[in-house]
Amino acid sequence: MIGLSMALLLSWSPTLMGAGVVSAFVVLLTHSSLYSCQYILSLDKFAIILSLLVFWVFCALSVCSKSYTKKVASLADSLSSVLVILGILLVLSFMVENLILFYIFFEVSLIPLMVVILGWGYQVERVSATLYLLVYTLVGSFPLLLAFVGLLLKGQTLMWFFLSALLGLFLFLICYFFFFLSFSFFIKLPLYGLHLWLSKAHVEAPGMGSMVLAAVLLKLSAYGLYRVSPYFSFSLLKVNIWGAALSILGAALSAAVCMVQSDLKAMIAYSSVSHMGVMIMGFMTQSSAMMSGAWVIMLSHGFCSSALFYLANINYERHLTRQLSIVRGQVSVFYYFSLLWVVFLMINFSVPPFLTLWGEASVIFGAFWLNYFFFFFLGLNMFLVSYFCMYCFSTLIHGRVSGYKSSLGETSVNFIVLLFHFSPLIGLVLNVGVLF
């Protein structure tokens, strides 16, 4: 079985490589003498929904890759292989209950992303973007590993649901554990101030790299924070409140940074930082309404941000630039894509009846009863996000058409990919109860 797994992993077929990863994981499970399968795999509602998010986004990516690899046929197999491996690693990260396995898949899943940025990035700056991603990952991974090892020594367990064993420690030890557990997640969400790697990675990554980073990889850190934060809600209430305050302040600052961006992908990247700040605040406060709202924001952002990056990549392929001042006047050239830009920008700044409104409304109502500081900065953040989305709409869609011409038109592949992003948002609005 081990030899078969290695042979599949070393094959060039993406399907066989994916089967190799799965078979290697099966070997790990069957030869584990410490835990049975039911204690290694987690099949709760949140893990299943996020795994379905991975599957749905990677279906869209498979359509993108077919369109992309027609231009670079020699790289078709390698790109498909990287995407298959990345998707399997992400699903395993959501499914495992064992903390060490989660740590391994959590860190290893960034390697295929680095390969995508280096191999298919557009500019030479992709090397520095990969280095930023690597350095931030290494800095954040060691505290997480130390926390998991310390938890094993204290509680003699490696499971998420045994984190409550930490509550018997002294308060200062709980603070250290909480800091180590959360710091890595804050870097990879990211929290404002720890976000420099994200803007560089998004700007230098190809369209598919930005899509998977925004849609799924950021949600992996959010999932870890969601698992960790309830076990410290009562012991570290003041620490949680301060963390929530920093996150919502960072969200407002990120939205303000979006207003001065001229690069379309950088603007969308800072918009993601702003949404992640609101989501962190919801998880940190431990209010049931705010946690539910943060959960909805996380799912809605997964589809919306991926679609925005895909639209930005379409514009880049047409004009070979991401500058808003050059790619303006889309409505007179590409009418249907202009309409899709309007729809996804509306989803991004929480226009009813889309799913983002449900999440932000829950967070705002919870913040009103919790603290007026949170309520004020949430309102400020929503205003700034709405402003830069309307600015992006007015600049990108309207205005005089630039002198840059493109032979690329509106293709059916592009509409199929965007339909993959739009249909779940509408379906969840019609049946939002499945999320709670």
What are the structural domain ranges in the chain?
Answer: 1-31, 38-233, 236-436
With beta carbons less than 8 A apart as the criterion, state whether 95 and 47 touch. Answer: yes
| Residue whose C-alpha is closest to residue 189's, from 156, 160, 220, 226 | 220
Looking at residue 268, what is its pLDDT? 93
Dump the DSSP string for 287-300. -HHHHHHHHHHHHH
Nearest to 62 by CA among 86, 94, 92, 95: 86
| Rounded CA separation 283/247 (Å) | 10
Residues of the chain with pLDDT under 50: 1-36
Provide the sign of the torsion angle of the four alpha carbons 379, 383, 389, 390, taken in this order. Answer: positive
**Contact present, 36 and 11 (Cβ < 8 Å):** no
What is the rounded (10 degree) CA torsion for 377, 380, 381, 383?
160
Instruction: Pick the closest to residue 388 from 338, 345, 344, 353 (CA basis).
Output: 345
Tokens of 195: 């976000």
Q: Is 404 helix (H, G, I), strand (E, B) or coil?
A: coil
Structure tokens at 286: 């431990």
CA distance 104 to 99: 9
189 touches 222 (CB < 8 A)? yes
pTM: 0.87
> What's the token pair of residue 381?
């953040």
Angle between helices 110-120 and 196-204 (to 10 degrees): 50
Res 97: pLDDT: 83
Helices (H), ranges, 31-125: 45-69, 76-95, 99-108, 110-120
What is the enclosing helix (H) or strand (E) of 251? Answer: helix 237-258
| Residue where the block lists tokens 């690329």 | 408
Residue 365: both structure tokens together: 């109502």
Given this model, what pLDDT does residue 256 score? 93
Structure tokens at 59: 């279906």
Distance CA(210)–CA(205), nearest Å, equals 6
Measured in Å, how far apart are the chain's first and last C-alpha atoms?
40
Residue 406: how many other CB atoms lie within 10 Å? 13
Mean per-residue pLDDT of the chain: 79
Q: Are 203 and 270 in contact (CB under 8 A)?
A: no
Task: Evaluate whether 359 touches 295 at the Cβ level (below 8 Å).
Answer: yes
